[in-house]
Structure 1
Amino acid sequence: MTTAPSVRGWCPGLHTPMEAADGWLVRVRPPLGRLSAAQARIVARAARVHGNGLIELTSRGNLQLRGLTPRSARAFARDMAEAGLASTDAATEARRGLLLSPLAGIDPDAAPDAPAIMQALDAALAGAASLRGLPAKFVIAVECGGYMPAGTLRADIVVRAQGTGWLVVCGARALPCPAAAIAPTVLALAHALAASGGRPLRDPALGTQAFAHLGLLEATQAAPPAAHNIPCLAGPLPGHAMGAVLPPGPMEADLLDAVAQWSMQAGNGHMRITPLRRAIVFEDCATAPPLPGLITHADDPRLRISACIGARGCACAARDVIADATLLAPALPARATLHVSGCPKGCAHPGPADITLVAQVDGYGLCPHGRAADTPVDNGLSLAQIQHIVRDWPRNLTTPRNGRTQPA
């Protein structure tokens, strides 16, 4: 049984800032997920000049800045367009909802034509002025295999490498597609889906309907990707790359400056801002950045923790969840995942976790193997009680601990 979270506002974008407790939020989406050192420094400076200096990595591979005003948000958008990181046209920028596998073009075991396919998709979407009506969270992904297995990226339309060819997956259906036909096929599907206003990621039947609407009857039932864990992106990676991960919470603009400096000192001056677990991938880099505030070891328990900004930046949040998540990290057993959410929206991690905690006025609600929007099996848990639960995982977590229960 689940309950609908109380949703406030919308997902912010570059031209559509959203008000939060610490000011306005705005996001910039680096083209193809790639950021040069010079561009990173521009973003860091803009965070200090236009906002409060705090920057977050989102699950869509965006850089989210905090503490802006409506006026400074407009100035930030102009700065990003001048830096080559965005379009000045709000409608064009809104259509660029693309995710690319973090190691595309550098992993020797991945499909080599993935970057070219992504560029063709980006150009097609940018030029599709008639494409209106897609939901704000609609996203298209390109998965190229190799180190990152199929199913790593969740999207409404997924272009997925399979053997020596490609599949276009939409909802419950998949269509074999030559590389040259991928962009027009995806664009046609997007137009068909815009008419419905829905998302195949939420309603797979919409994909079946879209293929049928286009007369693409050769689309077959999409095989679900094999169950897997997202590969670790902290430490050495294929293709002479190096990964580093931010712990839960925002980073200071000064850290982004230091990251830019390291990418030039130890790499080729470019980095990938990934949609996976707050990870940054340094290109052509063999040495982990010795920077406080970055995780570079695969056994760090913070890699398996998700947490939102919490009460310090969101009026919906009931607690400082980042501080609590950091406190719980040493107790987290190997392989267990933990999501500490400030409210039932679950912004930091929409999916399930082994242990999901939802902040309440008098403690935390517990949703084992669930999402933040699920009905807790227990409520009002203190941090001391939660530390005991986390330390003893796995165990039967359906037993109430304080008498304040709801049906599981």
Structure 2
Amino acid sequence: MTDAIPFEVPWARTHQFDPPAIFDSLRESRPLAKMTYPDGHVGWIATSHEMVRKVLGDPRFSHSTEIGHFPVTHQGELVPNHPQIPGMFIHMDPPDHTRYRRLLMGEFTARRASRLASRVEAVAAEQVDVLREHGAPADLVRDFAGPLVLRMLSELVGLPYEEREEYAHAPTLLHDPDAKPDEVAAAYERASSFFAEVVERKRKEPGDDLLGRLVAEGKLTTEELCNIVTLLLFAGYETTESALSVGVFALLHHADQWAAIRADPSKLDRAVEELLRYLTVNQYHTYRTASEDIELNGETVRKGDTVTVSLPAANRDPAKFACPAELNIDRDTSGHVAFGFGIHQCLGQNLARVELRAGLSTLLRAFPDLRLAVASDEVPLRLKGSVFAVKSLPVSW
């Protein structure tokens, strides 16, 4: 197995919860394997836990839009190099990345996230009322997970949830591989225009939220502020919504694990980490570009080569996690890379954990007999795209 595998092969997920089987053979024989991208560029894919952390932790691998060779979009379009977008720090290297991230780190600490726990629980309880009002069967994505995550993210950032029609569709379409490019562009433009309007409101009345505090500090332009809001929304909404929805699906499918948490709620924190590892909903489009020739695993990654890292494959590495294909809420999950690794590790991971914990605990208390309203293989899945998700999750109680 020395030939480059095609870009499409590793994304051919065929099972509800498991990454493609090719990852198992690649990890064993070629944890750093050559891969051909749609434009003919021959780069690499890393599948072992060790290799993924090496790539993501090495400052010689860049995530800059100025020098990177980027994979295609969900719609199959090639992404050209382009100058840095002010505020869009996810696609920057230090020192620019560091400067922006430092402005936000205080908003997403574990301490600050823990202080939000009671508010998250209150919002979760309100969404339970929505489920009850609808009656069984209900869609857990539409009536619980989606609103819970979007409401909390909107409150934290400073976006008016009652005006969510202006911005909520954009991240959903961006992560949908079946969305039409013109629809994505239109939704993105609508959201961007709305963010600029909100920034102007904050200049008159800042408010006690992230955007209000950034406006009051006066260090960033309107363009930077709008792009930071865009990044936080696009990175934090669909991903956490999916982690919660697919997490509930996995627990209801593995009834013994759901029963174990119900019998002993102290297992919930470990269960959240195991679900993050086991599912790893951030499944594609994590990549870096070599800024110089780099020797790695006996191979020479040339300057300009793209290395895609598979977070799902790393989290199923038997060298790191025993019996990794099993969902086991009692396992030690330390070191999982569901939120990435290195300087670009997910900024909002502490908030995501609080939301996942509150969502699951609220459902356990409200619906101890929660169950799927359809057969497990009838739950509609989104297997492609950057985020693994359930399109809807019909449940009864």
Is the TM value for this pair above 0.5? no
- Which structure is richer in relative contact order (CA contacts within 8 A, separation 6 or more)? 2
**More strand per residue:** 1
TM-score bracket, normalised by the shorter chain, equals: under 0.3
**More helix per residue:** 2
TM-score, length-scaled by structure 2: 0.25
